Structure 1
Amino acid sequence: MTPTTAAGSYYERVGELRFKPTAHAGGAWADDEQHFSPVGGLIAHAIEQHVADSRPGSGLAVARISYDILGRIALDECEITVETIRPGRTIELLEAVLSIGGRAVTRARAWLLTSLDTSSVADSSVERLAPPEEFEPWPMDELWPGGYIGSVEVRRRAGAVPGRSAAWIRTPLDLVAGEPSGALASYLALVDTANGIAVRQSPTEWMFPNTDLTVHLQRQPSGDWTGLDTSVSFGPDGHGVTSTVLHDVHGPVGTAAQILTVRPLPGS
């Protein structure tokens, strides 16, 4: 399938549960795959819609979402189904499955917790990330190829070293054409970028794709910017971890982690 070249979004809805990626969803490791960042946002969008339809006014909010990447995510039409695994009045567990060609390629589980006012005890020992205007514009597409990378604005903190960096990311594009996305889905659509902002080895010599993404949230994010304070570690046996403290312009939001499979790039 040839992806659409719609200028203003990562996906177009083509059915109740089906979405067609645009060229902007193109991956960094292969041009016929989807980058997982918009995929993660699309799944969160489907979860938010499921909650709005099945539990309107419930006050439930996503506190953790974990994605398992089961295989290659082709740049092709995808279908997302969402079901409730553990129903509850104040705690609920949902599962979303993204399939392409009838095969599940990503499975996500989201814990939803009830919302209540705890502002009197709200606090964190995590230092706030400096605001985006104090970071430098960074042409990420000079390091990474792909439609998704070319679609985002990145500002990175000066002094980045291999395996350690911080950046702010935003996009002018909608997640799904012609329909609004919640703040969480829009935020999560940029989080997987963390694995590319603090590379430990050149992606022209080594591959280190992630096979999962797990996000824990202490509060719901807001605003256009996704802040990533990221560390990347490689072990001696072909495994690695990308660990990120998540921010918005108001302060820390939570954490994200990605497990990596590290291997030499064929032919390098």
Structure 2
Amino acid sequence: MAYFERVGDAAYRATEEVGGAWDTATQHIAPALGLLVHVVERDRDARRTDGIVVGRLSYDILGTIPIEVVDVRVRVVRPGRTVELVEAALSHGGRDAVLLRAWLLRPGDTAALRGTAYPKITPAEDMAPWDPSSVWPGGFIESADVRREQVEPGRAAFWVRTAVRLIDEEDVSPLARAAGLFDIANGMTVRADPKEVAFPNVDLTAHLFAEPRGDWVGFDTTVTFGPTGIGLTSSVLHDTHGPIGTLAQILTLRT
């Protein structure tokens, strides 16, 4: 099983595994975000061999995408020896659906300086399994293995992994695999019933100070609804070793 199948050098066919939560006839955006990371890393590795790494992923989600073939493209916006800005786009039928701007940074040995005030969350093996399909439909949600520790509606820690490959018969990095799960954060501790209130996100930005390791991606998430139709889902990202970065998604609230 895979979310995408390569059908050309810059074209991928989505499978039914990407079925969306708001509309099962369109793609859940999460796997597409992982696909764009893969595209950026593939382009980077074709151009340079110095080990430059992704530090920030900033996506703009321009619209829905049918479960069909999508095209991707990459360009270097700001080349550099130690800092580089790369832009990638995912489109369908000639229309851009997702734009990504990624900052790539030169790594170095800062182990002696390592530290954060972000607390660790309960390990996945100590959290109870939770079935997200009890709240959401769609192939992508069904493919997610979730463990959750809910504090209240809109506040929870949880772990997510999937047995579904990002791309059929193609190896991807741990970051691309993890990024293909990032967008699930907005639906794992809902503040309101999605049958009564819609709260899709129109962007997603991840800042990463460590590369993810392992199959599990952890989230320490807070969902906030403002008084004027705008909300925010903010998360601290984890792997099994501890915090690795932060994630934010701006929401449009529709009643």
Is residue 145 of structure 1 aligned with residue 137 of structure 2? Answer: yes
The aligned counterpart of 1:4 is none
The answer to whether the 8 Å contact 1:11/1:19 transfers is yes
Paired with 2:96 and 2:181, the residues of 1 have a C-alpha distance of: 22
Is residue 67 of structure 1 aligned with residue 59 of structure 2? Answer: yes
SS in 1 for 2:151: coil
Paired with 1:33 and 1:107, the residues of 2 have a C-alpha distance of: 18
> What is the count of residue pairs matched by the alignment?
255
Paired with 1:51 and 1:182, the residues of 2 have a C-alpha distance of: 13
Runs in 1 of length 4+ with deviation above 6 angstroms? none
Give the counterpart letter for 2:228 in structure 1. D
Give how far 1:160 is off. Answer: 3.2
Is residue 21 of structure 1 aligned with residue 14 of structure 2? Answer: yes
Is residue 262 of structure 1 aligned with residue 237 of structure 2? Answer: no
SS in 1 for 2:24: coil
The aligned counterpart of 1:115 is 107
SS in 2 for 1:168: strand
Give the counterpart letter for 2:241 in structure 1. H
The aligned counterpart of 1:43 is 36
The answer to whether the 8 Å contact 1:166/1:197 transfers is no
Is residue 223 of structure 1 aligned with residue 214 of structure 2? Answer: yes
Paired with 2:202 and 2:96, the residues of 1 have a C-alpha distance of: 14
The answer to whether the 8 Å contact 1:68/1:106 transfers is yes
Instruction: Output one character per residue of 1:129-180: Cα deviation in whole Å (capped at 9) or x when no partner.
Output: 11101111001111100000000100001x4311101110000011000010
Paired with 1:87 and 1:244, the residues of 2 have a C-alpha distance of: 30
The aligned counterpart of 1:12 is 5
Instruction: Output one character per residue of 1:32-62: Cα deviation in whole Å (capped at 9) or x when no partner.
Output: 111111111011111111111111x222100
Give how far 1:25 is off. Answer: 0.5
The answer to whether the 8 Å contact 2:15/2:68 transfers is no
Give the counterpart letter for 1:51 in structure 2. R
The aligned counterpart of 1:251 is 242
The aligned counterpart of 2:161 is 170
Give the counterpart letter for 2:223 in structure 1. V
The aligned counterpart of 1:186 is 177
| Structure 2 spans left out of the alignment, 5+ residues | none
Give how far 1:27 is off. Answer: 0.5
* Pairing partner for 1:205 from 180, 196, 212: 196
Instruction: Output one character per residue of 1:178-227: Cα deviation in whole Å (capped at 9) or x when no partner.
Output: 01010100011111100001110001111000000000001111100000
TM-score scaled by length of structure 1:
0.94
Paired with 2:30 and 2:52, the residues of 1 have a C-alpha distance of: 24
SS in 1 for 2:75: strand
Instruction: Output one character per residue of 1:11-46: Cα deviation in whole Å (capped at 9) or x when no partner.
Output: 000000000011011110001111111111011111
Give how far 1:127 is off. Answer: 0.8
Give the counterpart letter for 1:163 in structure 2. G
Is residue 232 of structure 1 aligned with residue 219 of structure 2? Answer: no
SS in 2 for 1:74: coil
Instruction: Output one character per residue of 1:62-88: Cα deviation in whole Å (capped at 9) or x when no partner.
Output: 000100011122222101101100000
Which residues in structure 2 correspond to 1:78-93 (within 5 Å)? 78-93=70-85
Give the counterpart letter for 2:32 in structure 1. V
Paired with 2:88 and 2:126, the residues of 1 have a C-alpha distance of: 38
| Structure 1 spans left out of the alignment, 5+ residues | 1-7
Q: Percent identity?
A: 47
Paired with 1:179 and 1:59, the residues of 2 have a C-alpha distance of: 21
The answer to whether the 8 Å contact 1:160/1:198 transfers is no
